[in-house]
Structure 1
């Protein structure tokens, strides 16, 4: 692995936390920076994909998609089913970003709603806590939130989203499982 680091002023090798830092032979005398080779203990091979050819917009969208795929995958593993009639209620700061909400809607293949209320994430947490207190007595979550402010529809899934994200989610799940097995 190569890293760019400040050159050791004495120009010698340096041991740091078990990593041996050695100056590269191709020194540039006009700068205080040089490339160093890091000799680290062996680790399992990791697939590295270069994405330097992608635009910043594509990289940001991929990041957002990855976060939402992770949340959908984990929700499904916890027993939640994404079925017709599923609704997503988005809260917090990003819930005001229409582009992010559209990606959320597409990944979950469900309409996304928000509540026009400050601290809506706190309100949602409070409703979940209340439901946790009364659930054993048979009170449903719908009963708990019946007096909540009415959410507003802000995004609906693109009709072609399932053909893209259903396959992508399966691949994401396989890659996540592989990473967990190798770590």
Structure 2
């Protein structure tokens, strides 16, 4: 019986690992998604806020992951954004409404959902992942699923790309509308 419990715990931990996704995989498409919504840098600086309701400050390692996305260095992406400099800042409920950047990635939110909806309405590109509960508050919600039938192999794919134009003045480009799993709400 003791061995069965150990095997059960091991199998349970494997399945937990298989369905959690590293942040790097979720944020990889951020430059393309934002570029497809006509976001531009201001004074050649693109400012991205990383928001969390559960943390007062996002750790430097997490902020660096956003800055180190390889696509930012692509010449075509830099031209689309008119980008020379990339700034990544930590956001929480206290400084959210003062944010003067162009993009907000939502790590987690509960108490600040209405504030997020407000900044989204002001033209900031807001995006969250893996939680359809954000769809009424942010411009883009992306859902990824592991499509591998092999538990040892991860093949994460974008399965739902929800764009809510009801809460934002931004509009998706025709390129974004061709994404697999694209769903929109009140986009003209």
Regarding TM over 0.5, the answer is no
> RCO (CA 8 Å, sep 6+): is it higher in 1 or 2?
2
> Quick check: which one's strand share is greater?
2
Q: TM-score, normalised by structure 1?
A: 0.31
Highest CA radius of gyration, 1 or 2? Answer: 1
> Quick check: which one's helix share is greater?
1
